[in-house]
Structure 1
Amino acid sequence: MPDLSCDGCADDQRTTMTRRRVLGNAAAAGAAGAFAGLAGDLLSTQLAFAAGRYTGDVLVVLSLRGGFDGLSAIVPAGDPAYYAARPGIAVPKAQLIGGDSRFGLHPALAPLLPFWKAGTFGAVQAAGQTAPNRSHFSAMEQLERAAPGTSMRTGWLDRLLGGLGATSPMQAVSVGSMMPARVMAGPAPALGMKSIDEFALYGDQKDQPMADTLAKLYAGAPTVLSGPARQVTTSLATTKALAAKPYQPAGGAVYPDDTLGRALRDVARLIKGNAGLMSACVDSGDWDMHENFGIAETGKRMHDKLAKLAEALAAFATDLGPAGMKRVTLVTVSEFGRRVRENGSGGLDHGYGNAMLLLGGGVVGGKVHGRWPGLGERHLVDGDLAVTTDYRAVIAEILRKRCGLANTRSVFPDVRTTTSGVVRPR
């Protein structure tokens, strides 16, 4: 997608929009693709109503960037090797909540305990990519492309949107970032937005009506160009209507006032606003904890990060309510897990196997899915938790059962849907 602007850049760094520029982009990339780039970058983007009615779940992909330590979130308390490997940072059994005879939840996940008990929050342990990769950039690129060993360069979510017949950039959004996530890279239209309330056409103001100018600019243009232009102006109108109404989360939900909380709040607004959303991507960073990891108590680094994550997810589920969550599935991904053994700085280095968190009305929750390989030395992969469940198989089951995608091989070409019931069919 062409990079047509950046919030916070100096004025001389911004690219001026002209009909000639858009026509040039359209010739190179196709009109819909050009306007997907325009809507994703020049605007601080937002969704309008989609042309078709999607009846599957809204898939929310939450990327825990930096390398999430799934062994701290979903603690293998039944495996004595866990405590032997982490004498300074292991979560004591007495502090664990939920779980079963094998696993327990970190106490900082307490806001999610009601959903665990209700069966709408669960996890998959020992999940990950097909081969270890401890490079943040390379591992995340592989995670989002999700087609190792092939020549594919599109993101897996782009392939999903194509399989579902998405035709509008208003059906997929990356929230919290102007640029659509790499997982959306490809021909299917997608948008990136900072927030609903910041959605605007750059330069648009009372005495400089850029949106009206855009509409007039393309009034006499061929349909292939005027159609996308109408999508842009319609999305502006939709956003303006949403932003004009003060938003009050339902059910007493209180989102944390941080990047993740604000992003999930906006995703909930879009879902409840019936904006035609098929999928949303949200990022949560700063999980790369090589030092000062901390014990499981307030004020310690990992504890407080998990607490904010749980607080945001619980607020999202509460805000949507049981009826809203019946059509939403949220899944977390991370480029890799952390090593089993703590390092000399009281932290954890880059590892391999990890835990995926699942939240939604169709989730088979209240349990930890996946085959546990064990943490004994003979079971590890170069000191790391082994991967027994391909993360793509988890997502593929969600796509088939909850999103209505019959051919999951079109998204993950070399993966069969082999997970054991992480979600229920719609």
Structure 2
Amino acid sequence: MTTDEACCPEMRAMSRRGVLQGAALLGASATIGSAVVTIAGAAPAAAASTLGTGTIVVLSLRGAADGLSLVVPHGDAAYYAARPTIAIPKTSLLAADSFFGLHPKLAPLLPLWNAGTLAAVHATGLPVANRSHFAAMEQLEDADPGSAARVGWLNRMIGTDTDTSPLQGLALGSLVPTSLQGPEGALSMPSLADSLAGDPAYAPGTPRTVSLGCAWSKDSSPMATAMRSTLAATPKLATALTQPDRTSTYGGSDLGAALATVARVIKAGIGVSAVTVDQGDWDMHTDLGTLTKGRMLANAGDLATAIAAFFADLGTLASNVTLVTISEFGRRVAENSNAGLDHGWGNVMFVAGAGVKGGKYYGTWPGLTNSLDADLTVTTDYRSVLAEIVAARTTASTATVFPGFSPTTVGVMRTA
């Protein structure tokens, strides 16, 4: 039997053109059955990992979260003067010290805070303000200002590893974000159920997988390499489906469902080193709200509930996982006429899990100005926080991951 004959009968119904719906600039996207799979880069067979056994989870708060609501600087009088209707009273704050306190809806995170595995770093962000959502997020995720190469910082991180499996980098969503794009393999999926691993028709040895393998076997294009890599990774990813699904404990949000999937993948022990997850709807120009109503209540509550459930779900494996939150920029200090906040600059980052020196607020406070156009000034480049996590949790060189950048000491991670 020839190779072409082996690809039948499925080839009559599934041409390469019919199966694949599009390609990213530096990767390949496929719609196969009900699954949407994206591979960034082209990964050959994997070798033993040298990056370590831990996992870094990057949780992007898309839309520009208001860090001054999440971690309130109650010690700065300009905060209350600038927000006559949406400021959070000092008496309602959680884990308050002499200057900062947590939004009340972050209560599910208090056990992590009190256990010393959750910290906040304030006045973080890009070194130069960029108030365009898409441009700022791309700049954050690329983390290599001035470079023409479209390679994200997480792709550079996993590129230092000898393990070149596409499962080294995993994005929960339909596309690989900028942070994972580049020459190293990375997989994206909306959920385990929507991945090839979740569809019995694409199990190893089925007519469809045989047909797809044949269809792409003689093609040397990046798309073909990505398809072969996806098919090779699917049996390994399928082991995550054998892990208990505790989505019901995550609060019912999309973020909770995504982090529940991440927990199953980590518990499967398949060697994932970098994971990206998104939470949206932080662009609160209107109706940010108070402690009794508004959009901040729901988003902050979902964030805290999902993160707390994630670490509880991991159990003892939580000692191998570090989670960091990031947002493209913060919001203005002063509220606008719609009880919301317009685009600003500085923000807060949460760091949780393995290696974190928690129960503390970090960063250099620049002081606030009570005017409509005032921003929270960035005093800590966000890359300094990420570099500290990379240095503490992996064997990757921070000089490679963040080219041309000299980090300042934040102190949020244990070094030994």
TM-score (norm: length of structure 1): 0.83
Matched, 1:232 2:269: no
Question: Is the CA contact 2:165–2:233 (under 8 Å) kept in the aligned structure 1?
Answer: no
Aligned CA distance change for structure 1 residues 168 and 114 (closer, same or farther; 3 Å): same
Alignment equivalent of 2:36, drawn from 13, 38, 44: 44
| C-alpha deviation, 1:100, in angstroms | 1.2
Give the distance between the partners of 2:253 and 2:160, measured in 1 at CA. Answer: 34
Alignment of 1:393-404 (within 5 A): 393-404=384-395
Aligned CA distance change for structure 1 residues 208 and 275 (closer, same or farther; 3 Å): closer
Aligned partner of 2:185 in structure 1 is: 189
One-letter amino acid of the structure 1 residue matched with residue 18 of structure 2 = T
Aligned partner of 2:135 in structure 1 is: 138
Matched, 1:320 2:320: no
Aligned partner of 1:129 in structure 2 is: 126
Give the distance between the partners of 2:376 and 2:338, measured in 1 at CA. Answer: 20
Aligned CA distance change for structure 1 residues 219 and 187 (closer, same or farther; 3 Å): closer
Matched, 1:302 2:300: no
Alignment of 1:235-254 (within 5 A): 235-243=233-241, 246-248=244-246, 254=249
- Please list the CA deviations of residues 158-211 of structure 1 after superposition, one character each: whole Å capped at 9, or x if unmatched: 111212344111110111x22111211211111111111221289947997311
- Please list the CA deviations of residues 250-289 of structure 1 after superposition, one character each: whole Å capped at 9, or x if unmatched: xxx8112221111100111111100110100001110000
Aligned partner of 1:311 in structure 2 is: 305
Matched, 1:293 2:270: no
| C-alpha deviation, 1:231, in angstroms | 4.4
Question: Is the CA contact 2:384–2:409 (under 8 Å) kept in the aligned structure 1?
Answer: yes
Aligned CA distance change for structure 1 residues 254 and 203 (closer, same or farther; 3 Å): closer
Aligned partner of 1:6 in structure 2 is: none
Give every structure 1 segment of 4 or more consecutive aligned residues whose post-TM-superposition deviation is greater than 6 Å: 46-49, 205-208, 218-222, 224-230
Aligned CA distance change for structure 1 residues 327 and 46 (closer, same or farther; 3 Å): farther
- C-alpha RMSD over aligned residues: 3.4
Question: Is the CA contact 1:293–1:301 (under 8 Å) kept in the aligned structure 2?
Answer: yes
Aligned partner of 2:270 in structure 1 is: 275
Question: Is the CA contact 1:402–1:424 (under 8 Å) kept in the aligned structure 2?
Answer: no
Aligned partner of 1:416 in structure 2 is: 406
Give the distance between the partners of 2:120 and 2:294, measured in 1 at CA. Answer: 24
SS in 2 for 1:355: strand
- Please list the CA deviations of residues 137-158 of structure 1 after superposition, one character each: whole Å capped at 9, or x if unmatched: 1111211111223333211111
Question: Is the CA contact 2:284–2:342 (under 8 Å) kept in the aligned structure 1?
Answer: yes
Aligned CA distance change for structure 1 residues 381 and 132 (closer, same or farther; 3 Å): farther
* Count of residues paired in the alignment: 393
Aligned partner of 2:347 in structure 1 is: 354
SS in 1 for 2:74: coil
Identity %: 44
Aligned partner of 1:169 in structure 2 is: 166
TM-score (norm: length of structure 2): 0.85
| C-alpha deviation, 1:216, in angstroms | 5.0
Aligned partner of 2:367 in structure 1 is: 374
SS in 2 for 1:197: coil
Aligned partner of 1:214 in structure 2 is: 212
SS in 2 for 1:421: coil
Aligned partner of 1:365 in structure 2 is: 358
Question: Is the CA contact 1:174–1:282 (under 8 Å) kept in the aligned structure 2?
Answer: yes
Q: Report the more deviating stretch, 231-240 or 197-206.
A: 197-206
Alignment equivalent of 1:16, drawn from 15, 18, 25: 18
Give the distance between the partners of 1:284 and 1:248, measured in 2 at CA. Answer: 19
Unaligned runs of 5+ in 1: 1-10
SS in 1 for 2:249: coil
